[in-house]
Amino acid sequence: MSNVKNAPEMTAAPKTGAEQKDAPALVKKIGKTTYVVRVHFSETSKETMSDKIKRMLKNEVEQM
């Protein structure tokens, strides 16, 4: 696991016009580079976030 207390803080990008309908964005500036990270979720998925995390952890443990 990563050491989250040293993780860089990310802030939400301002929303304007069509961007409000798009996926949320996180913006992080490192030096002279600005990173924009967009997140989206399937509206047709039948798996909850909790189910997905459990499935991913189970798969990770099985690979050990």
Say what the pLDDT of residue 4 is. 45
List, in sequence order, every residue forming a beta bridge with 49; answer none if it has no partner. none
Between 60 and 43, the higher pLDDT residue: 60
Q: What is the DSSP letter of 22?
A: S
Domain range summary for the chain, segments of one domain joined by +: 25-63
- Average pLDDT taken over every residue of the chain: 77
Q: Are strands 33-38 and 25-30 parallel, antiparallel or unpaired?
A: antiparallel
Q: Which residue has the tokens 């952890």?
A: 57
- Whole-model pTM: value is 0.40
- Cβ-proximal residues to 47 (8 Å cutoff; 6+ apart), any chain: 55
For the residues 34-61, what does the mean pLDDT come to? 90
pLDDT given at position 16: 54
